[in-house]
Amino acid sequence: MSKDSPTPQQKPCWKCIQAFWISFPHVCLVCSVVLYSVIGAGVFHYIEGSREMEITELKEFLDKLWIIALNSSTNNMTIMGNESAFKEMAKEALVQDIKPEWKQKPEEQWSFMSSLFFCCTVFTTVGYGHIYPVTIYGKIACMVYATVGIPLMLLLLADFGDILAGLLSRTYRRAALACNRQWNKSTFYGQTGKSSLTSAKSNLTSTTDSQVSMREPLNITDVIKTQASVKRKYLKMRNIDLFELIVIKENQKVLPMKGGKFQRSHSCPDLDLVSRIDCVMYKFGKIGEELDRLDVPITLIVLIMVIYIMCGAFILPIWEEDWSTMDAFYFCFVTLTTIGFGDIIPKHPNYFLLLFVYTTVGMAIVCMAFKLGQNRLVSFYKQCITCISRGKVTKYSGDN
């Protein structure tokens, strides 16, 4: 065995190192968003929470109401007329002059948890509108914060979308493959019977014994020393390409990288000498590609999205006691699609951490649904144009 090959005792360590470098880009993005949220919460808590309540404007508003009351009582009108006139003028003053920030003290409205919730509504572009900066410095900080935070959040959503898209694609392919195998198996039984299947299995077993022995990671030297059948095939056929193809197919699964390098998922341990930093940079550069390659039935994505929203609709009323299941479903849909009307907002910001995780994963699912829907619409329009033009439309070329 080569000295660079991991021993059985070292294999768990190798797997841990591999798992670390695979998860490193995703962990970096999550930690960046969390750290950015905490920093933003501290900034807005300091700027908006420490401001003095605008007592001057509130005092002027109360004086205006008092003047309206005096004018309605001194006029020569009946008691009923005075009451109706006062109500009408007071209502007009309330609609025009009252400000939402008067309802709550700044230190209560901009607590650290409320500020953290506000930051999440900013860079997720939901923006419920129930809390917003009122000072000049707060508004400037909000614009700068959103300029950096929104692209960072979109990058995180693309990364989450890649993970979910890859998981969904593999699950869908395996399920489809299992169904096809089951269908082919039943068809095979009906056509050839059990005896033919038994002989086919024995032939398959005899031809794959060498493959079973090559499942463990080996280097090239070990293959030549231990697997004499492969060497004999090579010496007999004098075909270097065939020999390399056999070894690579049995022991390696490689992905092409930029600059002629390769990224390994299952191959010989000698390739672990490749720089880990290059692998990490490769993963950062490939964020979003798995989502673009996603090709599953759109009905499956829509079904997953509806089930996910329904889960939130049943969970949220546990701590939002004023909400019905329909209100929670409506809130989840409006939030995950980033509409954010603000007519229904959570009253318990202390639970916002769970809500933020739910929103992030849900937005990735909705992003997948929108991406598939967009692809289907583009394909539909292409078919319509082809049908209308009777196949005479050609691709546009800038040289023509």
pLDDT tens, position by position, 15-58? 788 777 778 888 899 999 999 999 999 999 999 888 766 666 67
For residue 67, CA distances in Å to 64, 86, 104 come to 5, 10, 25
Query: What's the distance, Cα to Cα, between the start and end of the chain in Å?
Result: 62
124-149: pLDDT as tens digits: 999 887 888 988 999 999 999 999 99
Q: How many other CB atoms are found less than 10 A from the CB of residue 90?
A: 15
Average pLDDT, the chain: 74
224-239: pLDDT as tens digits: 555 555 555 545 544 5
What pTM, to 2 d.p., does this model score?
A: 0.64
**Structural element, H or E, at residue 256:** strand 253-256
DSSP tag of 260: G
For residue 251, CA distances in Å to 205, 212, 214, 315 come to 19, 11, 7, 47
- In angstroms, the CA 192 to CA 227 distance is 35
Instruction: Give the residue, 267 or 141, on which the prediction is more confident.
Output: 141
- In angstroms, the CA 235 to CA 392 distance is 56
68-108: pLDDT as tens digits: 777 766 555 554 556 677 777 777 777 777 766 666 677 77
Instruction: Give the residue, 151 or 397, on which the prediction is more confident.
Output: 151
Exposed (0-12), middle (13-18) or buried (19+): which is 45, by Cβ within 10 Å? Answer: buried
Q: Which residue has the tokens 């900066």?
A: 133
Residue 245: both structure tokens together = 């193809």
Position 209 scores a pLDDT of: 46
Q: Length of the chain, please?
A: 400
- In angstroms, the CA 370 to CA 29 distance is 23
- In angstroms, the CA 157 to CA 364 distance is 5
Residue type present at position 80? M
Least confident segment among 106-110, 206-210, 241-245: 206-210
**Cβ atoms of residues 376 and 301 within 8 Å:** no
Which domains are assigned to the chain? 15-155 (1.10.287.70), 298-389 (1.10.287.70)
HSE value, Cβ hemisphere, 13 Å, CA-based, for 146: 14
187-209: pLDDT as tens digits: 766 655 555 545 544 554 444 44
Mean pLDDT of 291-297: 74
Q: How many other CB atoms are found less than 10 A from the CB of residue 185?
A: 11
Q: Is the pLDDT of residue 307 over 90?
A: yes
